[in-house]
Chain A
Amino acid sequence: MATLDSHATYRPRGLGVSVGQGVLIALALLCVAGLLLLPLLVVFAEAFGKGWAVFVAAIADPDARTAVWLTLTVAAIAVPANMVFGLAAAWLMTHYDFRGKQLLGALIDLPFSVSPVVAGLVCVLVYGVNGWFGGWLDAHGVRVIFAVPGLVLATVFVAFPFVARELIPLMQTLGNEEEHAARTLGASGWQIFFRVTLPKVRWALLYGVLLSNARSMGEFGAVSVVSGHLPGLTNTLPLQVDQVYNGGSASAIAAAFALASLLALLTLLTLLIKRLVEWRHGGELAHPVRRH
């Protein structure tokens, strides 16, 4: 009997698998365990490897606490900003036809394809001392690069498309009939947006915001270029991990992993909520090609 029973998907079969399937499943498990699970486990193992005291001391360090605070601040600005943009872009892309729409769609996706380091570099070229606006900003006493505004700009750039990417395909699939019905009944634009569209797409919105937030809090390459690495001033948590790690000694590395474990916890939390949303509200999400 051919083992590639293509209807296998439709009924749970437990462990009743053939040898061929068993080998493929074993290979896949090995791949997941070795390539994906071990890196996650090693973070926690290294974080607690030198004992609780080292872990607590690393977290309680004033520079580490400032870094946590800065990471939260940057995300608190970048995520809502990108959410507003994502909603506007999705509304625009799914309610109107206009020239250049396809190009606009491609441009919204662009930051996903740009190296984080290039994202940081372009911020320096615009806002740095010798950049386009650098002279003007300097004359007015505003620091962007090597300061918090630069961190926010770089973060907004790399986390730019997440919300729009979730919303646009979903809103295209759902169509506009309800919005048009509401319009016919005399609803205003804002009423339609808050009472019709937003409830329809709320889970996809949460999904996009979740991914956007994970990226904003975890970004390293882009912020590394614009931060200047001033401990206690412009180090976000990933940058603090980098700096502590580069201290090189065994205790420095353990401290770096202790801070990294906070970010790994954030990752686990993100994946957990993501799964929950997919599980409970999968039908209300877009089913596009996933490419975060």
Chain B
Amino acid sequence: MRNRAMPGFGLSLGITLAWLGGIVLLPLSALAWKAGSVGASTWWAQIGSRRVLYALQLSFGGALVAAAIDVLLGLLLAWVLVRYRFPLRRVCDALVDLPFALPTAVAGIALTALYAPNGWIGRLLQPLGVQVAYTRLGVLLAMVFVGLPFVVRTLQPVLESLEHEVEEAARTLGASRWQNFRRVLLPMLMPTLLTGFALALARAVGEYGSVIYISGNLPMRTEIVPLLIVQKIDAGGDTGPAAVLGAVMLAASLLVLLTVSLLQRWNRRWMEVG
């Protein structure tokens, strides 16, 4: 191959494979091996337990709903940030990165302080009979918080590069604003929206720090799967039960990762055809 003329192939391949193998692949295969060797009874004891089932339901169900909310809010934010000019736009744009950069434990206690019954927002919601902290709603809120930047940052470059001509053509042909959005923009943005959804979903499913304070961790009510994994490790002794739940989480993230890469391939083809 012509490219081989550039020196450094062996060294860069060596460093990359050693680092990737030692830090990522070896530990992940230890998880697969452990989860594979514990036997059906341990699997059944975990996956069949009602407490775990509730947590799985909340982790995956909550993350799906949160990612859907993120898509709506993220579309609004990305649209406004890309298309309109208004005071504080740069500040808003910078703040979108906050959930990426704020340590999750800090986000967790901050959200709890805000939404606790005596908090700034919790106090306002109390008379309305809405309680967020220590309920499933609180879990959902934390998941929405951590997933939001993924949707906005995925959408922004695509919105910036969209051909204005297509929209203008549609408008010239008499399309209303809503028709324009519904029939022209939305189909063009669909692969990107789905990518953002999948990324937000992956983050929300695995999130730990932001969720565990506001959730209150009530068994069968507001426990998430990562919390159960931590509890099972902290209990000491056999790591099998934790490995089983870890394997479920890992399988889910691999599935989401695969979906994202397929979506991006679809997106690329879309862009090339378009």
**Which residues does A use to contact B, with CB under 8 Å?**
2-4, 6-9, 12-15, 17, 20-21, 24-25, 27-29, 31-32, 34-40, 42-43, 46, 81, 84-85, 88-89, 91-92, 95-98, 104, 106-126, 128, 130-132, 153, 156-157, 160, 176, 179-180, 183, 188-189, 192-193, 211, 214, 217-221, 224-225, 238-239, 241-242, 245, 253, 256-257, 260, 263-264, 267, 270-271, 274-275, 287-292
Contact = CB atoms under 8 A, between A and B. Distances in A.
Contact of A35 (B11, B120, B144): B144
Given A21-B84, A110-B257, A245-B109, A160 B24 contact: yes
Given A24-B79, A238-B103, A289 B30 contact: no
A8 B85 contact: yes
B105 A92 contact: no
A292 to B, nearest CB: 5
What's the dominant secondary structure at chain B's contact region?
A: helix
Contacts of A188: 7
A115 B98 contact: no
Given A125-B31, A218-B103, A224-B230, A116 B121 contact: no
B107 interface: yes
Interface of B: 1, 3-9, 11-13, 15-16, 19-20, 23-28, 30-31, 34, 73, 76-77, 79-88, 90, 92, 94-107, 109-111, 113-114, 119-121, 144-145, 148-150, 153-154, 156-157, 164, 167-168, 171, 177, 180, 195, 199, 202, 205-209, 213, 226, 229-230, 233, 238-239, 242-243, 246, 249-250, 253-254, 256-257, 261, 264
Residue of B27, B88, B95 most packed against chain A (CB within 10 A):
B27
A117 B257 contact: no
B270 to A, nearest CB: 14
A8 B83 contact: yes
Which secondary structure characterizes the binding site on chain A?
helix
Contact of B77 (A32, A132, A193, A271): A32
Most chain A C-beta atoms within 10 Å of own C-beta, residue among B12, B121, B195, B213? B12
Contacts of A104: 16, 20
B177 A4 contact: yes
B156 to A, nearest CB: 8
Given A96-B3, A121-B31, A85 B109 contact: no
Contacts of B149: 292
